[in-house]
Structure 1
């Protein structure tokens, strides 16, 4: 007996629940409230404001990641046997379930929510929330994992929390070719309808090899860098690897950092920050936010506290469904942001690339606009956005400089970072920074544009 799901990226995904204990556990995990919550969290947050079909969820993505992880585990077994080694079934089980559960800790609008929390001094990333949800003794995840094997919940949580890899099985969930990016790059490209380059998945997987790389540069002459085995690519896959990174770069440029998407993220961030201030500050939070008493946002940001239970009550659907109520808020920022987001009456964007690609020219225009609109920047009627930057390794999360996240090619049997072999990739290594302003009033945007052109 098996269970089947149809997926637009992978086709038929089969769970052999009768003969495979990991598949059986995975199928049971899908039905937990914690995992079902991912149906209500968009994979691309607010990208549907720009790309209407980008409504795929982290639920579908996570299943795709599990399916891809099974392929990578088979690759590890293949490479180990090729080199006279023996696969470690227990570590493979941990990696597979970690791949399935890796996104449990995402909050509403994912990275936008994290940025709001960071600004409030709460620096818990979604990986930490994921581990806490897995370890939660009152949740539905932990009992299933412990029934599979004593201590299994801790093994899975620890793998997802670990920043530095310890063995090849960590590469399944964190590497240049981890299951997460091998799914989301293809899924996001498909669901947004963008021509973001081709990914020759089958050829790349066929040419994955396992080799040790140095994680840390030596501090002195006698220092020995820590080495760990991870995924590399055979030399003949270099052209496919170049296309893989180009597709990733293009997705960041055209989708993840699209000016309208960034504008909506900034507006939602401002809305959530205002709700958090109202919920945690003095005064009547219900009146100030327009939300009913006991609303999950008021519980999380207010007296209920940032507990796992309160966190799991938050998702995209909840916030989108609360916009109408928040339009009645006494707080003018909350009321304005909620009405604008509900009706897609967005701030107007000025991208300083309009004034040319020269970085110095853009920087000077940015200073002039900041001086002219200083008061409105201070009160939020103008939002400055100069933090987005992409390079060939750019990714949301900012860990692209970690060596195990960089792509290595076997050159004469030696793992070599791809930019040393490819002029194309080397040319795209310097980061491209975006400089944008979002204006509540179109007249202000037009005036700022004239300032940029006139000087």
Structure 2
């Protein structure tokens, strides 16, 4: 017996539930309410406002990541056998299930929601929510994991929480070639319709090797040896494909993830969330101020003591989008106005300082001038400044590009070297390119800031 899913990226994904115990567990996990919730969370958040085809979900992505993880586990077995070692099959299982469950903790509109929470002083990233959901004793995930193997829950949660790897199995879920990015790069390219960003997947997989890299160099006063950990590297002959892989990520960040319209919508939804969060603590007045029913999941979550796993799992993209209509009746004019704009795609108008030329000094001068000119509107939220986006060759949403195991290594002889030391192309793109944009609620204000009239 087997179960099959058809996927636009990977074709037929087969779960051999009769002969493969880990496949049987994966199939049961997919059927849990926690995993099914990912059907209601878009992989690219609000990108469908810009790219109409970008409606793929974290549900499809997570299953794709599991499929790629099986390929990477096969690479580990291949390379360990080549080196005369025996793979740890239980650790292989941990890596596979961790890959399947890695996105359980995403909130509505993913990184946008996470950014709002951080601005409110709640620095709890989706990885922490994922671990909490997995450990939840009253949820559907933990019983299945414990039935598979006692203590399996904690092994999965710890692997997903770890910031630094301890062995090669961690590379399946967190490395320069982890299963997550090997799925989303191809999936996001296809679903957004962008022509750039292709990767030579088969050649990359064929040329993955395992070698130890230095995670960090100890302090001068510390006599301990540098920490080393085995991770995925690439054979030297795959360097052109590796360069293209990094360029694909760079291109997707530039053209898709940091697209000016997408960033604008993210800022608008972020403002809506902040308005709801501020009103949710108003007790009986919360419903009137937001237009939401008194026990709406958003009010429960943002209310006093409401940030529980149960309340978090009640939130998703569809819930928020479905509530826009009632929020247009909110007494709070910021909430009603933003809900009305989002429902009808009446977006703020963008002014990118790159319009004033490539010179960074000139851009900075115009930024200061606009900030001064629209100081009151910025404080009121009718003008939004966005100066946090920047891309480099290692840009990654979540900001972990400084970690050495996330950087790409090429085998130079038998010694792994970070690719920028071997490739002038990659070295050139290491310097981050910032984006500085203003979003205006009124077209006239945008034109005034630009110094022109009537341009769209």
1:314 alignment counterpart: 315
CA distance in 2, matches of 1:234, 1:447: 54
The match for 2:169 is 169
Aligned-partner SS, 1:248: helix
Instruction: Tell me the distance in 2 between the aligned counterparts of 1:21 and 1:100.
Output: 15
SS in structure 2 at match of 1:215: strand
Aligned to 1:143: 143
SS in 1 for 2:388: coil
Preserved contact between residue 185 and residue 197 of structure 2 (Cα < 8 Å): no
Relative to the length of structure 2, the TM-score reads 0.98
Are 2:339 and 1:354 equivalent residues in the alignment?
no
Displacement over 2 Å in runs of 4+? none
Could you say which residue in structure 2 is the equivalent of 1:182? 182
1:422-445 Cα deviation digits (max 9, x unpaired): 000000000000000000000000
**3-state SS of the aligned residue for 1:165?**
coil
Q: How does 1:132-281 map to 2 (within 5 A)?
A: 132-220=132-220, 222-281=223-282
Deviates more, 1:152-161 or 1:277-286: 277-286
Q: 1:295-444 counterparts in 2 under 5 A?
A: 295-303=296-304, 305-444=306-445
> How many angstroms does 1:358 deviate by?
1.1
Between stretches 33-42 and 188-197, larger displacement belongs to: 188-197
Give the conservation status (yes or no) of the 8 Å contact 1:49–1:261.
yes
Tell me by how many angstroms 1:281 deviates: 3.5
Paired residue total: 452
State the alpha-carbon separation in 2 of the partners of residues 400 and 281 from structure 1: 40
| Displacement after TM superposition at 1:357 (Å) | 1.1
TM-score normalised by the chain length of structure 1: 0.98
1:223 deviates by 3.9
Q: For structure 1, list consecutive stretches of 5 or more residues without a partner in the other structure.
A: none
Give the secondary structure class of the aligned counterpart of 1:306: coil
**Deviation digits for residues 187-209 of structure 1 (CA, Å, limit 9, x no counterpart):** 00000000123200000000000
Distance 1:55 1:163 in 2: 30
Structure 2 CA distance, aligned partners of 1:29 and 1:104? 11
Q: Deviations over 1:203-262 (max 9, x none)?
A: 000000000000002312734110000000000000000000001000000000000000
Q: Is the 8 A contact 1:106 1:126 kept in 2?
A: yes
Q: State the Cα distance separating 1:282 from its structure 2 match.
A: 5.8
For the residue of structure 1 that corresponds to 2:451, the secondary structure is helix
Higher alpha-carbon deviation: 290-299 or 279-288: 279-288
How far, CA to CA, are the matches of 1:246 and 1:75 in structure 2?
A: 24
| CA–CA separation in structure 1 for the residues paired with 2:346 and 2:170 | 44
Q: Does the 8 Å contact 2:54/2:188 carry over to 1?
A: yes
Q: What is the rounded CA distance, in whole Å, between the counterparts of 2:277 and 2:225 in structure 1? A: 48
**SS of residue paired to 2:86:** coil
**Maintained 8 Å contact 1:327/1:339:** yes
Could you tell me whether the CA contact under 8 Å between 2:72 and 2:179 is conserved in 1? yes
C-alpha contact 2:189 2:198 (8 A) present in aligned 1 = no
Deviation at 1:304, TM superposition (A): 5.4
User: Aligned equivalents of 1:198 and 1:440: distance in 2?
Assistant: 36
Does 1:94 pair with 2:94?
Answer: yes
Secondary structure, counterpart of 1:410 in structure 2 = strand
1:122 aligns with 2:122: yes
1:46 aligns with 2:64: no
Contact kept in structure 2, 1:189 and 1:196, CA below 8 Å: yes
Q: Are 2:23 and 1:23 aligned?
A: yes
The alpha carbon displacement at 1:283 in A equals 6.0
